[in-house]
C-alpha cells in the first residue's frame, strides 16, 4: 500500500485517539477505517470527532464508535472527469475501492496530471488530379521557362504510421506491396546499398530512435494519381509529427522531392509532392528561384458541380511514370518543338485556371479535351490503341473531354461528363474492361497527428 494509505487509514479495532492522531498528521482532516483485509467500512472526519467529544465520548473506544458508515467512495481507476465532479461537490479526499470494497487508493484535489504516455504518429496525404500543365514542372524545362500546373487533391490517401520503439531496431511494413524490411539499427539501414523508396526516405530523415513504420494506400500502384509522392509525403509528415522543430509545408514538399527524385532516382516533376503536401485546388507555379502554390477559391456550388461532372476511370493498365519522364526528356533533347508544346501547355493551364475561378465549367470540360490532345503530342509512349479506344468511347458517349492522369500510358482517365450523359459514358468505358471510381475532393493537404500507444 502507498504511504498515503498508511498515513490516512486505521483498522476498525484501533482507538478513536489513534484516529485523531492520524487526522492531525495530515492536512485532509479525514481518516479511513478498514478491516484487516483493507475492506473499507467507514470514515472519520475532524467534524465527526468534535461531535463525538461534545457528547462526552470516550477516545479510548474503538473507532467504530464514532465513524461514519455512510461515506462517498469511487471505484479505483475512476476517470478524472468523475473525480473532478465529485470534488466539486465539496469533498477533499475520496477513497478508491475495488470490486470487493477494499481500499486501494486515496484521491485528493491535488491529484497529479496523468503521466506522459508513449505515443505513435500518424499521417495521411491525398493523391492529386492534374488538369493541365504536367511536364512543365520538370526542372530541365522551368529553369529557363515559366511553368504552371493546375491540380486538385481527392479523398484517396497514403497512410503512414510511425511507432517509436524502446530499442534501436527498425521494422518497415508496406501493406500494398506485401513487403517487410527489418534492420538492427538506423545505421544498418543507411549503410544498405540497395534501398527501397521507404528506406531512402528514412535515410534522409535519419531519426535518432528505433521505430516500426507502417504504410498503406487507398489506391492501386501505377494509377497516375501521384501515389508514390503521396506515400513519401505521408511518411515525412509522420516523422515530422514527432519533431520539436517541425518542417513547414514547403519543406515537407521539398524533402519529398529530394527523397523520391534525387535520392531514390524516380524521374519526374515537382507537382505531385506540392499537391499532396498543400492539398485542395491549386495553381502551382515553378521557376528557377522558387516554387509558389496559389490556392484557388471558388463557389461551393461550382465545386460540387465539378465533382458531380467528373468521372474517374481506372483503365487497369499499370504505368511507370519514371520511364515515361525519361523518354520525354530524351525526346525533348532531340526535338526543339517539345519546348513549344510545353509553352502551349502553360498557356492552356492558365486559361483553364480562369475558367475554374469564374465557374465556367462547360468551357473547363472542353479544355480537358485540348489538354489530352496536347499531352499526346509530348511522347509516342503516352497512349496506345487500347487507351485511345477508351477515350474515343467516352467521347462518343457524351464526355466533353478528359485526359489520362499522371505521365500517361495507363492508370486513370479523368472525364468531364454532363449529368445526362454520365450513365452512357460509364457503360461505354466499363464495356471495355474499365472500372469507374467514386471520389470526393479533398481540401486539406497532408495531415498528421499523435495518438497514445494503448
DSSP symbols for 231-296: HHHHHHHHHHHT-SS---HHHHHHHHHIIIIIIS-----SHHHHHHHH-SSEEEEE-SS-EEEEE-
pLDDT digits 0-9 by tens, 141-196: 999 999 999 999 999 999 999 999 999 999 999 998 889 999 999 999 999 888 89
Q: Whole-structure pTM over 0.75, yes or no?
A: yes
> Are 3-108 and 120-437 the same fold in CATH?
no
- Coil, strand or helix at 127: strand
Task: Kindly state the DSSP code that residue 375 receives in the 8-state scheme.
Answer: H
Can you give the pLDDT at residue 415?
A: 97
Any idea what the Cα angle at residue 224 is, between residues 220 and 226, rounded to 5°?
85
Residue 106: partners with Cβ closer than 8 Å, 6 or more residues away = 2, 4, 5, 8, 32, 93, 94, 95, 96
Q: Which of 119, 87, 116, 416 is nearest to 239 (CA)?
A: 119
Separation of alpha carbons 102 and 288, rounded Å:
73
Tell me the pLDDT of the chain averaged across its residues.
Answer: 91
Which cell numbers hold the place of 365? 470540360
Q: Which helix (H) or strand (E) holds 400?
A: none
Domain 3-108 CATH (choose: 3.10.20.30, 3.40.50.300, 3.10.580.10, 3.30.530.20): 3.10.580.10
User: Which residues are bridge partners to 450 per DSSP?
Assistant: 121
Which cell numbers hold the place of 278? 498543400
Can you give the pLDDT at residue 113?
A: 86
Residues 95-102 have a mean pLDDT of 95
Q: How much of the chain, in percent, has pLDDT values that exceed 70?
A: 95
For the chain, give every domain's residue range: 3-108, 120-437
Which cell numbers hold the place of 335? 526535338
Separation of alpha carbons 359 and 346, rounded Å:
20
Can you give the pLDDT at residue 1?
A: 41
- Given a cut of 60, whether residue 360 has pLDDT beyond it is yes
Domain 120-437 CATH (choose: 1.20.120.1760, 3.20.20.70, 3.30.230.120, 3.40.50.720): 3.30.230.120
Amino acid at each position: 500500500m502507498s504511504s498515503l494509505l498508511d498515513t490516512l487509514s486505521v483498522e476498525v479495532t484501533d482507538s478513536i485517539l489513534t484516529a485523531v492522531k492520524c487526522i492531525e498528521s495530515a492536512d485532509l482532516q479525514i481518516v479511513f477505517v478498514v478491516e484487516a483485509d483493507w475492506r473499507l467500512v467507514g470514515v472519520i472526519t475532524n467534524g465527526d470527532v468534535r461531535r463525538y467529544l461534545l457528547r462526552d465520548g470516550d477516545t479510548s473506544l474503538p473507532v467504530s464508535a464514532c465513524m461514519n458508515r455512510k461515506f462517498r467512495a469511487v471505484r479505483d481507476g475512476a476517470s478524472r472527469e468523475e473525480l473532478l465532479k465529485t470534488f466539486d461537490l465539496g469533498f477533499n479526499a475520496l477513497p478508491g475501492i475495488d470490486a470487493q470494497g477494499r481500499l486501494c487508493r486515496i484521491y485528493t484535489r491535488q491529484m497529479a496530471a496523468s503521466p506522459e504516455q508513449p505515443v505513435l504518429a500518424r499521417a495521411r496525404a491525398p493523391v492529386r488530379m492534374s488538369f493541365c500543365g504536367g511536364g512543365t514542372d520538370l526542372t530541365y524545362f522551368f529553369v529557363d521557362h515559366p511553368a504552371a500546373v493546375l491540380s486538385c487533391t481527392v479523398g484517396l490517401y497514403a497512410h503512414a504510421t510511425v511507432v517509436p520503439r524502446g530499442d534501436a531496431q527498425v521494422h518497415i511494413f508496406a501493406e500494398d506491396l506485401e513487403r517487410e524490411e527489418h534492420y538492427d539499427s538506423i545505421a544498418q539501414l543507411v549503410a544498405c546499398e540497395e534501398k527501397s523508396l521507404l528506406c531512402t526516405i528514412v535515410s534522409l530523415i535519419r531519426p535518432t530512435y528505433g521505430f516500426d513504420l507502417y504504410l498503406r494506400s487507398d489506391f492501386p500502384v501505377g494509377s497516375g494519381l501521384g501515389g508514390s509522392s503521396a506515400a513519401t509525403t505521408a511518411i515525412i509528415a509522420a516523422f515530422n509529427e514527432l519533431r520539436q522543430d517541425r518542417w513547414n509545408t514547403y519543406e515537407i514538399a521539398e524533402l519529398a522531392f529530394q527523397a523520391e527524385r534525387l535520392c531514390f532516382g524516380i524521374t519526374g516533376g515537382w507537382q505531385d509532392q506540392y499537391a499532396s503536401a498543400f492539398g485542395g485546388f491549386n495553381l502551382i507555379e515553378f521557376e528557377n528561384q522558387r516554387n509558389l502554390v496559389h490556392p484557388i477559391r471558388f463557389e461551393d456550388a461550382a465545386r460540387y458541380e465539378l465533382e458531380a461532372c467528373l468521372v474517374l476511370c481506372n483503365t487497369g493498365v499499370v504505368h511507370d511514370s519514371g520511364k515515361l519522364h525519361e523518354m520525354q526528356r530524351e525526346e525533348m533533347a532531340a526535338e526543339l518543338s517539345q519546348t513549344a508544346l510545353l509553352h502551349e501547355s502553360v498557356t492552356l493551364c492558365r486559361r483553364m485556371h480562369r475558367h475554374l475561378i469564374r465557374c465556367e465549367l462547360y468551357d473547363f470540360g472542353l479544355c480537358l479535351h485540348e489538354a489530352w490532345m496536347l499531352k499526346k503530342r509530348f511522347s509516342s509512349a503516352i497512349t496506345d490503341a487500347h487507351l485511345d479506344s477508351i477515350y474515343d468511347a467516352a467521347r462518343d458517349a457524351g464526355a466533353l473531354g478528359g485526359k489520362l492522369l499522371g505521365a500517361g500510358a495507363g492508370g486513370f482517365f479523368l472525364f468531364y461528363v454532363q449529368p445526362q450523359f454520365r450513365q452512357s459514358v460509364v457503360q461505354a468505358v466499363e464495356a471495355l474492361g474499365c472500372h469507374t471510381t467514386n471520389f470526393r475532393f479533398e481540401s486539406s493537404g497532408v495531415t498528421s497527428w499523435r495518438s497514445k500507444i494503448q
